[in-house]
Structure 1
Amino acid sequence: MKLSQIKEILATVEVVNFKLPNGTSVPEHFHVTEVGLITKNFIDCGGTVRNETVVNFQLWNANDFEHRLKPQKLMNIIQLSEKVLGIQDYEIEVEYQDTTIGKYDLDFNGTDFVLVNKQTACLAQDQCGIPQEKPKVRLSDMNNETSCCTPNGGCC
């Protein structure tokens, strides 16, 4: 989800709820403790220089159980970060503390914002020796007449 999309959604909802990938809810007394701009410059395993920029939201639970983040308050935080940090319309990445700090993509299911598990991937599979997916072959389609391992073929 891009920053422009969350702003459009915030203008239409009455509450801000986040769901974890396993379907449980982030406690409703969460805080958005950071809205930031993260730029990652790196070289992939094939030697290609790459960069990636995301808008980072950090969710945090405190002991103030009466806290509820309203859509307009989150919109104000976003607008301030755009103004002060020069944030543009990048994809959103959400940090949330589970057993360790997890990083998630963001989606919306019509009611709640949904944290989506991120996956690692090789960005240079053609250069670092990752084999292409093997073709799936059904043994019944193989020509058994040319194989030595056919019934009565004499290989056993």
Structure 2
Amino acid sequence: MKISELKQSLVGLEAVNFRLPTGEYLPAHFHVTEVGLVSRHFIDCGGVERWEKVASFQLWEAGDYDHRLAPQKFLHILKLSEKILGSEDLDIEVEYQQITIGKFGLAFDGQDFVLTLKQTACLAQDACGIPHQAFALPQLPMAGGLSGSGCC
């Protein structure tokens, strides 16, 4: 999701809700604690220099159970963040604390904002000798271990 899509999605909403990929909702008293510009300048394993720039939102929850982020307040935060983000329509990355800080993409289903899974990938598969066929990552359990695997 891009910043312009987020702003458009907030218009007309009565409440801002975020849902994890598991379907579980973030507590209603979450805060947007940071909006930042994250730039990465790196070289992939094939020697190609690359740049990446995203808008990063950090979601956080605390004992402030009366806190509710209204859509208009979120739009105000986005307006303030233009000092840092500029006018570029950046992709959004969301940080949310779980066992460790998770990084997610963002989507909107017409009612709720959905944190989407992100995955790593080799950007220079030809240089590494990796065939062009799809590479499926193993599905890790969300809780409790793999059935019959002897794990946990």
TM-score of the two chains, using structure 1 as the length reference: 0.83
Work out the percentage of aligned pairs sharing the same amino acid.
60
What displacement does 1:87 show?
5.0
What displacement does 1:17 show?
0.3
What displacement does 1:132 show?
3.3
Q: Which amino acid aligns with 2:35?
A: V
RMSD: 1.3
Matched length: 134
What displacement does 1:64 show?
0.6
Question: Conserved in 2, the CA contact under 8 Å of 1:59 and 1:96?
Answer: yes
Quote the residue 2:145 is aligned against.
none
Task: Label 1:84 to 1:94 Cα distance change in 2 as closer, same or farther (>3 A).
Answer: closer
Q: Which amino acid aligns with 1:21?
A: P
What displacement does 1:85 show?
4.4
Structure 1 unaligned segments of length 5 or more: list them: 135-156
TM-score of the two chains, using structure 2 as the length reference: 0.85
Q: Which amino acid aligns with 2:131?
A: P
What displacement does 1:105 show?
0.2
Quote the residue 2:51 is aligned against.
51
Question: Conserved in 1, the CA contact under 8 Å of 2:31 and 2:59?
Answer: yes
Question: Conserved in 2, the CA contact under 8 Å of 1:30 and 1:61?
Answer: yes
Q: How far, CA to CA, are the matches of 1:87 and 1:63 in structure 2?
A: 34
Q: How far, CA to CA, are the matches of 2:120 and 2:85 in structure 1?
A: 28
Q: How far, CA to CA, are the matches of 1:5 and 1:131 in structure 2?
A: 35
Deviations for 1:17-67, whole angstroms, at most 9, x for unmatched residues? 000000000101000000001001110010000010000000000101010
Matches within 5 A, 1:1-156: 1-86=1-86, 88-133=88-133
Q: How far, CA to CA, are the matches of 2:102 and 2:117 in structure 1?
A: 9
Structure 2 unaligned segments of length 5 or more: list them: 135-152
Instruction: Provide the secondary structure at the position in 2 that maps to 1:81.
Output: helix
What displacement does 1:12 show?
2.0
Runs of 4+ in 1 over 4 A off after TM superposition: none
Instruction: Provide the secondary structure at the position in 2 that maps to 1:74.
Output: helix
What displacement does 1:83 show?
3.0
Task: Label 1:41 to 1:103 Cα distance change in 2 as closer, same or farther (>3 A).
Answer: same
Instruction: Provide the secondary structure at the position in 2 that maps to 1:104.
Output: strand
Q: How far, CA to CA, are the matches of 1:69 and 1:8 in structure 2?
A: 16
Q: How far, CA to CA, are the matches of 2:12 and 2:79 in structure 1?
A: 16
